[in-house]
Amino acid sequence: MEVSKLSLRFASRVIVVLAYILIFFLVLYLWISTPSAKEIKHSFNETKIVKETWKNKKKVVIYAATKFFNMDITTERFLSKCHSTKGYCRISEDPKDLDVADAILFHNADFSPEKVPMPRLRNRPHVIWSLESPAHDSFRPLKDVINWTMTYRLDADIWYPYGHFVRRKSPQQVDYEAIWAAKDQTKIATWLASNCFSQNRRFDLIKKLIDKGLPLDNWGRCGKTPPICEGVSNQGSPCVVDLIRPYKFYMSVENSNCLNYVTEKFYETLRSRMAVPIVLSRKFYRQLGAPDDAFIAIDDFKSLDELIFHVKKVAADKELYLKYHKWRETHEVKPEHDDTTGFCELCRRLQNSDLGSKSYADLAWWHGYNTCDQSIADRFLGPPTG
């Protein structure tokens, strides 16, 4: 009697302990197997994408119901990097193709309600595309017109970033000497911009940094005419690479600070210009999977003086400066047009037999000013006046 009671108590203890162990491993498993948002987005397995698409040879047509800032939306311009769907996906602007179209695409800035085909082809996804932040673009279509969004937002249905990071399969050697040799030792920081007035007061911040002693060459419409790249004040031109590459730092400050809004200024600084971006706020870049040591964030510092002291120190110290390039061993930056994102991803998505069923009831809110924080510079500039 006594013995069986004892062994019963012992058995129940064992069960409790086993249950704890089980729960522990369950939690551990869930924790390991649930990737964070940024991991989902940059763990693209390109071999897998290519193989899957190779099997799926369904031909798809995207009907462009609008222009792109009044320019044509063509297969040549937007699908040329889509190796995995080459020959199986095309864009058409010809209304005759509306009947065979697999999706209907609208570029937001060119959208008008008349562009939505009547009667609406309800069984084809209607896709809204925008590369602008909500500070400069409010989404126009009404309730339940749009099924999919195609933007830089991580949670867009089709992710269309200005660039993105991928982890290298194996570490790569970096030619640090070449990076250092490309730098002109008299050139520290630079900025090139065409939009000098923005609500986040980035230009005021740049002017204050110069006043406080940051050696910064300010090119473009907000500064001086560049010695090369005459008249070019946008980021796209190849001569911009030659203009910026000799500098150690580039002021990569966006015209607005909205969720996931990071433009080619940042990615191209790392990719083609081989410089270190100085950004306004770390959190925006961290969310996108940017390695922490690939850039300098102004909001890491207590004051602009401390930031300037740090930038000057790093610029003068080869070893310290090259540490900001160490991420290149493990990561690679992909450009805006890339087989894994944007239009190429839209093509692949349309090859699926099940497209699901969703639509946006409040698109204006989804892409709204509520996703922006324009007050980051206030900490360094004081509250805005006027």
Ligand X SMILES: *[C@@H]1O[C@H](CO)[C@@H](O)[C@H](O)[C@H]1NC(C)=O
Q: Note the residues at the interface with ligand X (CB under 6 A).
A: 45, 47-48, 122, 125, 144, 147, 169, 355-359
- Show Cβ contacts of residue 323 under 8 Å, excluding neighbours closer than 6 positions: 293
Smaller CB separation from ligand X, 147 or 151: 147
Nearer to ligand X, 111 or 321 (CB): 111
CB of residue 55 vs ligand X: minimum separation in angstroms? 12
Q: Exposure pattern of 135-162 as b/e (b: 16+ CB <10 Å)?
A: beeebbbeeebbbbbbbbbbebbbbbbb
Least separation in angstroms between residue 200's CB and ligand X is 35
Beta strand residue intervals within 224-366, DSSP E? 249-251, 276-279, 296-297, 331-335
- CA 256 – CA 133 distance, rounded (Å): 7
How far apart are CB 149 and ligand X at their closest, in Å?
12
Nearer to ligand X (CB atom), residue 137 or residue 144? 144
Q: How far is the CB of 144 from ligand X (least distance, A)?
A: 4
* CB 291, min distance to ligand X, A: 18
Residue number with CB closer to ligand X (123 or 385): 123
Measured from the CB atom, is 9 or 122 closer to ligand X? 122
Q: How far is CA 20 from CA 23, 27, 29, 75, in A?
A: 5, 10, 14, 57
Minimum distance from residue 47 beta carbon to ligand X (Å):
5
DSSP character at residue 142: -
- Neighbouring CB atoms inside 10 A of 384's CB total 12
Complex with ligand X: residue 159 or 191, whichever CB lies closer = 159
Query: Which residue lies nearer to ligand X by CB, 125 or 220?
Result: 125
β 163-167/331-335 pair status: antiparallel
Query: How many angstroms separate the CA atoms of 344 and 79, rounded?
Result: 7
Nearest to 332 by CA among 54, 122, 71, 42: 42
Q: CA-CA distance, 89 to 99, in Å (whole number)?
A: 16
Name the minimum Å distance from CB 128 to ligand X: 12
DSSP per position, 264-282: HHHHHHHHTS--EEEES-H
Tokens encoding 297: 């964030």
Query: Least separation, in Å, of the C-beta of 31 and ligand X?
Result: 20
Of residues 167 and 212, the one with the C-beta less far from ligand X: 167
Smallest distance from ligand X to CB 300, Å: 32
Round to whole Å and give the CA distance between 140 and 179. Answer: 45
- Integer Cα distance of 122 and 177 in angstroms: 58
User: Of 36 and 357, which CB lies nearer to ligand X in the complex structure?
Assistant: 357
Beta strand spans in the chain (E) = 60-64, 89-92, 103-107, 126-129, 148-151, 158-159, 163-167, 189-193, 216-220, 249-251, 276-279, 296-297, 331-335
**Closest residue (Cβ) to ligand X?**
359
CA–CA distances in Å: residue 346 to residues 84, 103, 331? 12, 9, 25
